[in-house]
Amino acid sequence: MKLRICHLYGNLLNTYGDNGNLLMLQYLARQKGLEVETTLVSLKDPFIADDFDLLFIGGGQDHEQKVIAKDLTSKRDELVKYIERGGVGLENHNGRTFLGEGEKPLGTVVSGHGNNGEDHSEGAIYKNMFCSYFHGPLLVRNRHLAQRLIDTAVKQKEKLEDAYDIAVAEEAYQEFQTNQVAHSREEMKELLDLKTE
Protein backbone atom coordinates (compact mmCIF):
# COMPACT_ATOMS: atom_id res chain seq x y z
CA MET A 1 0.00 0.00 0.00
CA LYS A 2 1.18 3.51 -0.78
CA LEU A 3 0.95 6.26 1.87
CA ARG A 4 0.63 9.63 0.13
CA ILE A 5 1.88 12.47 2.35
CA CYS A 6 1.31 16.14 1.59
CA HIS A 7 3.90 18.49 3.08
CA LEU A 8 1.88 21.69 2.90
CA TYR A 9 4.10 24.78 2.51
CA GLY A 10 7.09 22.68 3.57
CA ASN A 11 9.49 25.07 1.87
CA LEU A 12 8.15 27.97 3.96
CA LEU A 13 7.01 26.43 7.26
CA ASN A 14 10.02 24.61 8.67
CA THR A 15 11.19 26.89 11.45
CA TYR A 16 11.17 24.38 14.26
CA GLY A 17 12.84 21.37 12.69
CA ASP A 18 9.62 20.13 11.15
CA ASN A 19 11.51 18.19 8.49
CA GLY A 20 12.55 15.86 11.33
CA ASN A 21 8.87 15.19 11.99
CA LEU A 22 8.29 14.45 8.31
CA LEU A 23 11.32 12.14 8.22
CA MET A 24 9.92 10.27 11.25
CA LEU A 25 6.58 9.74 9.51
CA GLN A 26 8.35 8.46 6.40
CA TYR A 27 10.66 6.19 8.40
CA LEU A 28 7.89 4.60 10.48
CA ALA A 29 5.64 4.14 7.46
CA ARG A 30 8.42 2.30 5.62
CA GLN A 31 9.05 0.19 8.74
CA LYS A 32 5.40 -0.89 8.46
CA GLY A 33 6.05 -1.99 4.87
CA LEU A 34 4.31 0.97 3.26
CA GLU A 35 5.50 2.68 0.13
CA VAL A 36 5.79 6.40 0.87
CA GLU A 37 5.20 9.23 -1.57
CA THR A 38 5.71 12.77 -0.25
CA THR A 39 4.57 15.81 -2.21
CA LEU A 40 5.41 19.40 -1.41
CA VAL A 41 2.37 21.62 -2.00
CA SER A 42 3.25 25.29 -1.75
CA LEU A 43 2.29 28.71 -3.09
CA LYS A 44 0.05 28.59 -6.18
CA ASP A 45 0.06 24.75 -6.14
CA PRO A 46 -3.37 23.15 -5.98
CA PHE A 47 -4.24 21.02 -2.97
CA ILE A 48 -6.57 18.20 -3.99
CA ALA A 49 -8.09 16.39 -1.01
CA ASP A 50 -8.39 13.01 -2.75
CA ASP A 51 -4.68 12.97 -3.62
CA PHE A 52 -3.42 12.54 -0.04
CA ASP A 53 -3.68 10.16 2.90
CA LEU A 54 -1.76 12.26 5.43
CA LEU A 55 -1.28 16.02 5.68
CA PHE A 56 1.65 17.68 7.46
CA ILE A 57 1.90 21.42 8.16
CA GLY A 58 4.91 22.75 10.04
CA GLY A 59 5.42 25.96 11.98
CA GLY A 60 6.79 29.21 10.61
CA GLN A 61 7.81 32.77 11.36
CA ASP A 62 5.35 35.66 11.15
CA HIS A 63 6.53 36.74 7.68
CA GLU A 64 6.08 33.28 6.15
CA GLN A 65 2.69 32.95 7.82
CA LYS A 66 1.56 36.21 6.22
CA VAL A 67 2.78 34.99 2.83
CA ILE A 68 0.91 31.68 3.00
CA ALA A 69 -2.23 33.26 4.49
CA LYS A 70 -2.95 34.88 1.12
CA ASP A 71 -2.47 31.58 -0.73
CA LEU A 72 -4.31 29.45 1.82
CA THR A 73 -7.68 30.84 0.77
CA SER A 74 -7.27 29.17 -2.64
CA LYS A 75 -6.91 25.80 -0.89
CA ARG A 76 -9.68 26.32 1.69
CA ASP A 77 -12.47 24.27 0.11
CA GLU A 78 -10.29 21.23 -0.55
CA LEU A 79 -8.74 21.43 2.94
CA VAL A 80 -12.20 21.54 4.52
CA LYS A 81 -13.24 18.57 2.36
CA TYR A 82 -10.11 16.67 3.45
CA ILE A 83 -10.63 17.37 7.15
CA GLU A 84 -14.39 16.76 7.24
CA ARG A 85 -14.16 13.41 5.44
CA GLY A 86 -11.74 12.23 8.13
CA GLY A 87 -8.42 13.02 6.49
CA VAL A 88 -5.44 12.60 8.80
CA GLY A 89 -2.94 15.31 9.58
CA LEU A 90 -0.62 17.10 11.95
CA GLU A 91 -0.33 20.86 12.20
CA ASN A 92 2.12 22.93 14.26
CA HIS A 93 0.76 26.34 15.26
CA ASN A 94 1.47 29.29 17.49
CA GLY A 95 -0.52 31.96 19.25
CA ARG A 96 -3.29 31.66 21.81
CA THR A 97 -5.67 28.81 21.07
CA PHE A 98 -9.10 28.17 22.52
CA LEU A 99 -10.86 24.91 21.73
CA GLY A 100 -14.15 25.02 19.89
CA GLU A 101 -17.11 22.68 19.64
CA GLY A 102 -16.13 19.15 18.66
CA GLU A 103 -12.47 19.74 19.55
CA LYS A 104 -10.52 18.22 22.38
CA PRO A 105 -6.98 18.90 23.61
CA LEU A 106 -4.05 16.86 22.36
CA GLY A 107 -2.67 16.91 25.87
CA THR A 108 -2.71 18.54 29.29
CA VAL A 109 -0.04 20.99 30.44
CA VAL A 110 1.41 20.27 33.87
CA SER A 111 3.90 23.15 33.75
CA GLY A 112 3.85 26.07 31.34
CA HIS A 113 1.24 27.97 29.37
CA GLY A 114 -0.18 25.51 26.84
CA ASN A 115 -2.74 26.76 24.34
CA ASN A 116 -3.73 29.91 26.17
CA GLY A 117 -2.34 30.03 29.71
CA GLU A 118 -5.82 29.48 31.15
CA ASP A 119 -7.22 25.97 30.66
CA HIS A 120 -4.06 23.79 30.85
CA SER A 121 -4.76 22.35 27.40
CA GLU A 122 -2.13 21.77 24.72
CA GLY A 123 -2.95 21.41 21.07
CA ALA A 124 -6.19 20.21 19.62
CA ILE A 125 -7.76 17.18 18.00
CA TYR A 126 -10.60 17.60 15.54
CA LYS A 127 -11.74 14.43 13.77
CA ASN A 128 -8.38 13.01 12.55
CA MET A 129 -6.47 16.31 12.57
CA PHE A 130 -3.94 16.73 15.36
CA CYS A 131 -2.61 20.19 16.21
CA SER A 132 0.19 21.17 18.56
CA TYR A 133 2.20 24.12 19.75
CA PHE A 134 5.17 21.86 20.61
CA HIS A 135 8.18 23.11 18.72
CA GLY A 136 10.92 20.88 17.46
CA PRO A 137 10.83 17.17 16.73
CA LEU A 138 7.45 16.40 18.30
CA LEU A 139 7.03 13.11 16.39
CA VAL A 140 10.62 12.03 16.97
CA ARG A 141 10.15 12.46 20.72
CA ASN A 142 6.62 11.02 20.66
CA ARG A 143 6.88 8.01 18.40
CA HIS A 144 3.47 6.74 19.50
CA LEU A 145 1.83 9.88 18.07
CA ALA A 146 3.62 9.39 14.74
CA GLN A 147 2.48 5.75 14.69
CA ARG A 148 -1.07 6.82 15.52
CA LEU A 149 -1.06 9.24 12.57
CA ILE A 150 0.16 6.54 10.18
CA ASP A 151 -2.19 3.84 11.49
CA THR A 152 -5.16 6.21 11.30
CA ALA A 153 -4.20 7.26 7.77
CA VAL A 154 -3.99 3.61 6.66
CA LYS A 155 -7.41 2.83 8.21
CA GLN A 156 -8.96 5.85 6.52
CA LYS A 157 -7.41 4.90 3.19
CA GLU A 158 -8.78 1.36 3.47
CA LYS A 159 -12.20 2.71 4.46
CA LEU A 160 -12.27 5.07 1.47
CA GLU A 161 -11.08 2.31 -0.89
CA ASP A 162 -13.79 -0.02 0.44
CA ALA A 163 -16.43 2.69 -0.04
CA TYR A 164 -15.15 3.24 -3.58
CA ASP A 165 -15.25 -0.50 -4.32
CA ILE A 166 -18.84 -0.69 -3.02
CA ALA A 167 -19.86 2.32 -5.12
CA VAL A 168 -18.30 0.76 -8.24
CA ALA A 169 -20.02 -2.57 -7.55
CA GLU A 170 -23.38 -0.85 -7.03
CA GLU A 171 -22.94 1.11 -10.25
CA ALA A 172 -22.07 -2.07 -12.15
CA TYR A 173 -25.13 -3.84 -10.68
CA GLN A 174 -27.41 -0.95 -11.66
CA GLU A 175 -26.00 -1.03 -15.19
CA PHE A 176 -26.53 -4.80 -15.31
CA GLN A 177 -30.14 -4.39 -14.12
CA THR A 178 -30.78 -1.66 -16.69
CA ASN A 179 -29.30 -3.81 -19.45
CA GLN A 180 -31.36 -6.81 -18.32
CA VAL A 181 -34.58 -4.79 -18.43
CA ALA A 182 -33.69 -3.36 -21.84
CA HIS A 183 -32.70 -6.80 -23.11
CA SER A 184 -35.96 -8.33 -21.80
CA ARG A 185 -38.00 -5.62 -23.51
CA GLU A 186 -36.27 -6.31 -26.81
CA GLU A 187 -36.92 -10.06 -26.47
CA MET A 188 -40.58 -9.43 -25.61
CA LYS A 189 -40.95 -7.11 -28.60
CA GLU A 190 -39.44 -9.74 -30.89
CA LEU A 191 -41.84 -12.39 -29.54
CA LEU A 192 -44.83 -10.09 -30.04
CA ASP A 193 -43.65 -9.26 -33.57
CA LEU A 194 -43.43 -12.99 -34.36
CA LYS A 195 -46.97 -13.62 -33.11
CA THR A 196 -48.46 -10.85 -35.26
CA GLU A 197 -46.85 -12.13 -38.46
pLDDT tens across the length of the chain (197 residues): 999 999 999 999 887 778 899 999 999 999 999 999 999 999 999 999 999 999 999 888 889 989 999 999 999 999 999 999 999 999 887 778 888 888 999 989 888 888 888 898 999 999 999 999 887 788 999 999 999 999 999 999 998 887 666 655 566 667 766 666 666 666 666 656 665 55
Under 8 Å between Cβ of 125 and 3: no
Distance separating alpha carbons of residues 192 and 151, to the nearest angstrom = 61
Distance separating alpha carbons of residues 15 and 11, to the nearest angstrom = 10
Stated pTM of the model: 0.80
**3-state SS, one letter per residue, for the chain:** CEEEEEEECCCCCCCCCHHHHHHHHHHHHHHCCCEEEEEEECCCCCCCHHHCCEEEECCCCHHHHHHHHHHHHHHHHHHHHHHHCCCEEEEECCCCCCCCCCCECCEECCCCCCCCCCCCEECEEECCEEEECCCCCHHHHCHHHHHHHHHHHHHHHHHHHHHHHHHHHHHHHHHHHHHHHHHHHHHHHHHHHHHHC
| pLDDT digits 0-9 by tens, 116-146 | 888 989 999 999 999 998 877 889 999 999 9
From first CA to last CA, the distance across the chain in angstroms is: 62
Residue type, 158: E
